[in-house]
Amino acid sequence: MTDISLENKTAIVTGASSGIGAATARALASAGARVALVARRADRLASLAEDLNQETKRSDAAVALSADVATNAGVERAFADAKTALGSVDILANIAGVMLVAPVLGTNTDQWRRMVEINLMGLMQLTQKAAEHMVDRKTGHVVNVSSLAARHTSSNFAVYSATKFAVAAFTETLRKELIGTGVRTTEIMPGIVKSELAQQIEDDVIREDIGRWMESVTPLEPEDIAEAVLFAVTRPPNVAVSEMIVRPTNEEL
């Protein structure tokens, strides 16, 4: 069996204040990695960092770095602060995202812009910085957690799905560009997962409909996706897990 120890490895996890991001940070830290927790909610990050340091009995298991990766300045600060705290970056897990689903017609396009900025631009810019650093070191792993919406779309999901289709194209192209560098990429596409994403939907009817739909299929736990991330980044150097779809057993899509 493959050794799942990440001792002496370092990782940046975005979206670490809740859900899949927090679960992934916990999984990586539990496996021995030192983790930079990146999100906007500083209080949640500080609490998670304290918990991880106590759980692992390591004072440097996690560090909280509040930043908004939807902005250029936020990306610059997050990566610079992570490098300072960790010394180097072996793993980048891009998990930050928003799901502001709504019809195309009549929707305030500020919602579209926010999704593009967080789900796509922030991910791509942070990936660029991390990948350049990793190529210089001839080792590293970029994990982009997108969505099953990168393969299937539905009414009201046009722009959300568009960002996820774009993440899929970006990650696959980057995989090809990085061949021979020692740096690997993985796209993980979760189906329905228990999270705070649906709470962000402004339309009451759509939010309630999605809530009922999610409960009808018994959604995954964030830890289920964290385990997929951990699996991908602990394969031997000759193995690249390029794509993974992880969905509830009862999800039809």
Active site residues: 160
Query: Residue 238 CB: number of other CB atoms within 10 A?
Result: 5
Phi, psi of 248 (to 5 degrees): -60, 145
Which two structure tokens, joined as six digits, stand for 157?
A: 């999901």
At residue 247, the 3 state secondary structure works out as: coil
Q: Please choose, from the candidates 51, 20, 195, the residue with its C-alpha nearest in 3D space to the C-alpha of residue 64.
A: 51
C-alpha pair distances (Å), 184 with each of 12, 51, 236, 237? 15, 30, 11, 9
The length of the chain, given as a count of residues: 253
Strands 183-190 and 140-145: parallel
> Per residue, what are the HEC states of 69-127?
CCCHHHHHHHHHHHHHHHCCCCEEEECCCCCCCCCCCCCCHHHHHHHHHHHHHHHHHHH
